[in-house]
Amino acid sequence: MRFLALITILMVGGLLFYGTPDFPAWGDPESPASLHVSPYYIEHAVEDTAVPNIVTAVLADYRGYDTMFETAVIFSAGIACLFLLRIYRRKSTTTRLYRHNLTGITLRIAKGGKLPEGSAEFERIDSLWVPYDMIIKVTSRLVVPFVQLFALYVIAHGHHSPGGGFQGGVIFGAAIILYAISNDLRRAFRRLNEKAALLASAAGVLLYAGTGLMCLLLGGNFLDYSKLADLLYTDAIMARSHGILIVEIGVGLAVMAVMVSLYYNLSSAGRHDEGL
Amino acid sequence: MESLLANFLAKYNYWAYIGLVMIGMYAMIAKRNLVKKIIGMNIVQTAVILFYVSIAAKKGKTIPIIAHGHEDTGHHAVQALDYISPLPHVLMLTAIVVSVATLGVALALAIKVYRQYGTLEEDEIAMRIEEQ
Amino acid sequence: MSAHFPGLVIIIPLVAAFLILIGALLDRRLAFPLTALALLGSLLTAIGLLGKVIQTGVVEYHLAGWAPPVGIAYRVDHLNALVLVAVATVAFVNLMGTRELVKGLFEDRLGPFYTLYILLIAGLQGIVVTGDAFNLYVLLEIAALTGYALVGMSEGRAPLSSLNYIFIGTVGASLYLLGVGYLYLVTGTLNMADLAVRLPALYPSKVVVSAFVICLVGLCIKMGFFPMHAWLPNAYSHAPDPVSSLVAPLVTKVMIYVMIRMMLFVFTPAFAFDQMAISEPMVWLAIAAIVAGSFMALSTRRLKRMLTYIIVAEVGYMVGGFWLGNRLGISGAILHIVNDAIMTLCVFLSAAAIISKVGSDAIDDMQGLFKKMPVTMGVFVVAGLSIIGVPPTCGFFSKWYLISGAVAAGQYGFMAALLLSSLINLVLFFRIFEIAYFEPFHDHHGDHGHFVSAVQEAPFEMLVTLVVTAVLLFALGIYAGDIVSQIIDHAIPVGIT
Amino acid sequence: MIWPVDLIIMVLVMICGIGAIMVRDLLGAGILFGAYSFMMCLLWAIMGAVDVAFTEASVGAGVSTVFLVAAVFRTSRRTKD
């Protein structure tokens, strides 16, 4: 196997190597790749869309269709994970573990019995050993809101600085994942449960595609935001800028929800009872 | 010899990406552990992204965000040569998303395989299949 | 409205995917009708598009209102429109036919299943329509990801084969992406039409040559062409039945379409056939694929596995036919894309019906099936005859074009391989017919091994779709001449004789 | 003399990549893969691809690593090669 692998990678390497001597030198501003289409973006992005961050302008407007499918890819990954892993089980016969918060004594209740949820003195814990981790919990409680705020900033400020819907969505999702890791999965469900995550992911992509459809209904081509001008009470250029913001919000919503849902499914192997 | 060395140094990004593709593919073919293969797959994908980012690079130019984009100081011409080309960056954002999506699905399948055979090693899985 | 057809073909299933998921959260039973509605809409749009293309020629659609090469453009010519209709038809027919099966298999996850199903179709249709090389990659990945999930959702060896499918598929897609990157490096554009304009000046460049080879290797991996076919039989034969009857007819054929599109309309025939001079080796590889596929099919006693090996051979037909490089061969390859999609659908659907009744996919368990499932077996016979290539079924006509193309190109080896594979297919299918016709039925669910004569057919809607596909096979055969003269002739660039 | 920085990072990328596939512990491999992604993100930031680097920092080094660790946690750390 190792020999076969070596031969294959040498062949692939040779194939890739063959073309390289004819490449333009690295960092050459005059290389053909930089002279045909991309100057158009650099020179016209601001006047076409009023977005100084050219990457955002190209991502959400000039090549917005790619981005819609990129969001659809991440959405389908979320659905795929759910489809593959989720185990729907009505009644749980597993044993549950509870900790008495004041004394640290652990109770083990076998065969589906349970203490009432939300009691102040007892806390349900995962079956693998979980220490009483006040420092982690308090720190994460401190960090999570700021991370979420930063995520919103990244989404909203994608027009002017690096960032945008995708990055912001991932950061927002990461904040929720942090919450789920530092506490436990059940507590995260109380904030954002499975159905809400699914709904949010579908709604996010639908917001994107719906904006495109709206443009189509208003007489433009699919995703031609300039046709939204009358709806948004602005001129065509600002309409493009606002259209970009709308779809970035959609992307952010979808990505956030999908990241969380992927984490839920992977960390509990589809059972949705115990996480990391 | 001089020119060869200069040629080598001028394109070291491209050599690096070829190296990474080879590392990733080696892991995908020679390693028998499924998670190792998944990591190899991701290395290949990031290597491709490195290639695209290297295409976009321009020595000594600035990032593709137009400075003072919102001060209406008349029509100051934007010189395309001053900015790094944005198009490959856009494409690679998409590629990163694709790679994380693939990672998620692959890990889900790996968990499913583990649930079924109790191991992640390909040769042990083959043994389990033989036993059945 | 008809100006928006190229966009709508993709947008309808895409938007429907999210609505299906939301609808299924409310009520599980909503999933199927929504999917059916969306796919029907998409199919009608595709047919409308084909009609429009036949009347007025190439249809362009600029997404987001930006003209190419700045924006992404759809460019629908005769080739796209034909393949598009085939994809939409297979998707819709398979959906209708497998309703009961899906309900039985994925009872608790109907919403995700249909969401993935329709996203797969949206991806495949997008691949067919798009005129942008990078957009194609994104759509390729969406089709691939949903495909992995659908293939992996079964007990037994399915997850493992799906994981291997992911590894190989990702390598193929990454290689394709690299090839596009090489092209972008020397031309600075991603639009296919623009690439075709800018490439001829650069043909001597080594970068273009390696881009060509990398793209071709990547696509060959994705389509399961002979030396890289190892993932295909495992992935398709272990997949759940309603999925394999969707994935098997579509994915490889769409990949072959992508190869034809890249070779003819991006690299142009002058480069692909004349300068690269790889026609000869590609045809020989195709011959190897046909022979190997046929013999592997002969060596197995499992129905679905046998059919997947036949697919390996069929891929050889189409790739070989294309690389013959003359008008007859390419016409045969394109016609065979359509025919083979319907043939494979028909044969996999009837296999699904048989397996769900018999409870096993071993050929030896199929005794007495003609008595038990007369309609299903009748359709299976029609599909088998079509794969063998008996007139007036459609399989004969595409094979005829391929063989005459081989004669015109002087590739007698390819002709011999085609005839040999027809012969082996004859053996394969008549072996099944014999067991199913002459030997009495053994019920594998119960322990009584005696003769059962009662008719126990597949569900009604499955029978209807089976009969529809069988009729389609004849119809495609009868109208083969028209399809070639009205559509395919316009699809091939004028320079090829 | 700015260029050695990215050469050094490139060497680190290589080392992390090789390490991720060589180390005989899947959790370690996952963490090394996170380090690899982060080094890669630095490299892209140096090349001026800030958006790509930002995405890779949040996706590759952040969420992907969490996914890998979660999957390893749900399966096993053991690996033979």
Does this model's pTM top 0.90? yes
Nearest chain A residue (CA) to D70: A267
The interaxial angle of helices A165-182 and D50-58, nearest 10 deg, is 20
Residue B85 lies in domain? 2-62+80-131
Nearest chain D residue (CA) to B90: D52
In sequence order, what DSSP letters do the residues of A44-57 get, joined into one string?
Answer: HHHHHH--SBHHHH
Question: What is the domain count for chain B?
Answer: 1
Report the 10 Å Cβ neighbour count for A153.
14
Chain pair A-C, CB pairs under 8 angstroms: 169
Q: Tell whether D28 is within 8 A of chain A (Cβ).
A: no
CB B69 within 8 A of CB A52: yes
Nearest chain D residue (CA) to B38: D68
pLDDT tens-place string over residues A155-195 = 988 888 888 889 999 999 999 999 998 888 888 888 888 88
Query: Closest Cα to residue A28, out of C60, C6, B108, B7?
Result: B7
* Set of chain D residues whose Cβ sits within 8 Å of the Cβ of B101: none
Inter-residue long-range contacts of A186-194, CB under 8 Å, 24+ positions, other chains counted: A186/A124, A186/A273, A188/A260, A188/A264, A188/A275, A189/A264, A189/A272, A192/A257, A192/A260, A194/A261, A194/A264, A194/A272
User: How far is the C-alpha of C324 from the C-alpha of C406, rounded, in Å?
Assistant: 7
* Set of chain C residues whose Cβ sits within 8 Å of the Cβ of A226: 65
CB C118 within 8 A of CB C34: no
Nearest chain C residue (CA) to A216: C4
Nearest Cβ partner for C145 among B91, B102, B110: B102
Question: Which of B9, B44, B90 should we substitute to test contact with A (largest number of A Cβ atoms within 10 Å)?
Answer: B90
H, E, C per residue of C303-370: HHHHHHHHHHHHHHHHHHHHHCCCHHHHHHHHHHHHHHHHHHHHHHHHHHHHHHHHCCCEHHHCCCHH
Nearest Cβ partner for B93 among A20, A28, A59: A59
> A82 and C112 in contact by Cβ < 8 A?
yes
Q: Tell whether B8 is within 8 A of chain A (Cβ).
A: no
* Set of chain A residues whose Cβ sits within 8 Å of the Cβ of B54: 26
Q: Tell whether A262 is within 8 A of chain D (Cβ).
A: yes
Parse chain D into domains and list their residue ranges: 24-81
From first to last of the 497 residues of chain C, give the pLDDT tens digit: 678 888 888 999 999 999 999 998 888 888 899 999 999 999 999 999 999 999 888 888 888 888 888 888 888 999 999 999 999 999 999 999 888 888 888 888 888 999 999 999 999 999 999 989 999 999 999 999 999 999 988 888 889 999 999 999 999 999 999 999 999 988 888 999 889 988 888 888 888 889 999 999 999 999 888 888 888 988 898 999 899 999 999 999 999 999 999 998 888 888 888 887 888 889 999 999 999 999 999 998 888 999 999 999 999 999 999 999 888 999 999 999 999 999 999 999 999 988 888 878 888 888 878 888 888 888 999 999 999 988 888 889 999 999 999 999 888 999 999 999 999 999 999 888 888 887 765 555 544 444 455 667 778 888 899 999 999 999 998 998 888 888 888 888 887 77
Residue B32 included in any domain: yes
Residue A118 included in any domain: no
CA-CA-CA-CA torsion sign (C413, C415, C416, C418): positive
Question: Which of A130, A170, A258 should we substitute to test contact with D (largest number of D Cβ atoms within 10 Å)?
Answer: A170
Q: How far is C38 from chain B (nearest CA, A)?
A: 25
Question: What is the domain count for chain A?
Answer: 1
Inter-residue long-range contacts of D41-46, CB under 8 Å, 24+ positions, other chains counted: D42/D9, D43/B50, D43/D6, D43/D9, D43/D10, D43/D13, D44/B49, D44/B50, D44/B53, D46/D5, D46/D6, D46/D9
Q: What is the CATH number of the domain that holds B100?
A: 1.10.287.3510
Q: How far is B45 from chain A (nearest CA, A)?
A: 15
Joined tokens for residue A236: 């065509």
Residue B68 included in any domain: no
Q: Tell whether C228 is within 8 A of chain B (Cβ).
A: no
Match 């390419």 to its residue by tokens.
Answer: C330
Beta strands across the sheet bearing A106-109: A106-109, A96-100, A122-125
Could you give the C-alpha distances from C418 to A54, A66, C283, C312, C321, in angstroms and in order?
54, 41, 12, 13, 10
Residue A248 lies in domain? 48-88+131-267
Coil/strand/helix, residue A270: coil
Strands A106-109 and C59-62 come out as unpaired
C with B: touching (≥3 Cβ pairs within 8 Å): yes
Q: How far is D38 from chain B (nearest CA, A)?
A: 11
Nearest Cβ partner for A17 among B18, B67, B78: B18
Joined tokens for residue C58: 């190439």
Contacts of C39 (CB under 8 A, 6+ apart): C13, C88, C91, C92, C95, C118, C121
Q: How far is D51 from chain A (nearest CA, A)?
A: 5
